[in-house]
Amino acid sequence: MKIAVLGTGTVGPTIAAALSALGHDVVIGTRDPQATLARTEPGATGGAPFSEWHAAHGGIGVGTFADAGAGADVVVNATNGAGSLAALTAAGAENLAGKVLMDIANPLDFSRGFPPSLNPVNTDSLGEQIQRAFPEARVVKTLNTMTASVMVDPASVAGGDHSVFISGNDAAAKETVAGLLKDFGHRDIIDLGDITTARGAEMILPIWLRVWGALGTGAFNFKVAR
């Protein structure tokens, strides 16, 4: 498939590299491709500078949000949650219409410092906001409950015996996303229901952050035992 991954932080390049390794035609979307390709500073979590990462993944294209979205069959929103709606607007509603939009972002609010809170929360979710803003897109919320390395290589943590959630209104879109999750190695895929259930998935983040603080690592995940 042709897949656009929007976002150049830690998550976007991790997802893009994994999808490319699986044989997909991948393009990373960013606001300013030239500025992104010129980055030489380490990533926010200490990863390689984007220019260095891209040199090692030359088969992955880099374009504007709009260019990446226009040529894609599937669009992955891996942007900062606070900027997701703006990034998707830049991608263009016409470029998202009818396409599976895999939303893996979280609406983290750092206005009161760390750890962040969520905005929206309880009665709304980022997944729902995206679906309302782009009604012709087929939004599926997933992967937001784990760190990037676990998203693409769940077997590296607890032998892969942990859970991943999906939420969305379109059954066929969820099937497409579930297929990608299985290709990453996920085995326990739990369909929570329609896009309103993304509220629950996003509200896992506060406890995820506390577990990360207690363990000193993001290399863990949750398992729904039943």
The CATH number of the domain holding residue 57 is 3.40.50.720
Tally of domains in the chain: 1
Q: Which one, of 16, 4, 6, 17, lies nearest residue 83 by Cα?
A: 6
Q: Residue 196 falls within a domain, yes or no?
A: yes
Alpha carbon distance 96, 82 (integer Å) = 19
Q: Residue 224 falls within a domain, yes or no?
A: no
Express each pLDDT in 13-38 by its tens digit: 999 999 999 999 999 999 999 999 99
Q: Are strands 108-109 and 117-118 parallel, antiparallel or unpaired?
A: antiparallel
Q: What is the mean pLDDT of residues 183-194?
A: 97
pLDDT of residue 135: 98
Start-to-end CA distance of the chain, whole Å, equals: 34
Express each pLDDT in 75-118 by its tens digit: 999 999 999 999 999 999 999 999 999 999 999 999 999 999 99
Alpha carbon distance 198, 165 (integer Å) = 9
Q: Residue 176 falls within a domain, yes or no?
A: yes
Alpha carbon distance 44, 126 (integer Å) = 22
Residue with tokens 């260095």: 52
Express each pLDDT in 134-173 by its tens digit: 999 999 999 999 999 999 999 988 788 899 999 999 999 9
Q: Residue 190 falls within a domain, yes or no?
A: yes
Q: Residue 225 falls within a domain, yes or no?
A: no
Q: Residue 222 falls within a domain, yes or no?
A: no
Amino acid (one-letter) located at 156: S
Range of the domain at 140: 2-215
CA dihedral of residues 2, 177, 19, 23 (deg, nearest 10) = -60
Q: CB-based contacts of 26: which residues, under 8 Å, 6+ apart?
A: 3, 4, 5, 16, 19, 20, 59, 60, 61
pLDDT band, residue 48 (cuts 50/70/90): confident
* pTM of the model as a whole: 0.96
Q: Residue 57 falls within a domain, yes or no?
A: yes
Alpha carbon distance 83, 70 (integer Å) = 20
Q: Residue 220 falls within a domain, yes or no?
A: no
